[in-house]
Amino acid sequence: MVWPAAIGFFEAAEVLVACCETRGDFRHFHLDRIAEAAPAGGRFPRRRRVLLADWRAAQAIEGF
């Protein structure tokens, strides 16, 4: 189960940035490698804006 935070375009890859429940951390998934996805229902554990801010802090990204 992942909680999407953003979709980004890096060089030749489109990437989903998501908080992964299994790893307990943010992961980056190549969209072209995702074979199947289904909504789980329910609500995100945190607002998307908070997830994105947490990802930026973990990646040491400033200026947003």
Confidence of residue 51 (pLDDT cuts 50, 70, 90): confident
Which residues are registered as beta bridge partners of 9? Answer: 14
Q: Find the mean pLDDT for residues 14-29.
A: 91
Which residues are registered as beta bridge partners of 55? Answer: none
pTM value?
0.75
Q: Find the mean pLDDT for residues 10-32.
A: 90
pLDDT over 60 at 9, yes or no: yes
**DSSP characters for the chain?**
-EEEEEEEEETTEEEEEEEETTTTEEEEEEGGG--------S--SS-HHHHHHHHHHHTT----
Alpha-carbon distance of 24 to 53, in angstroms, equals 16
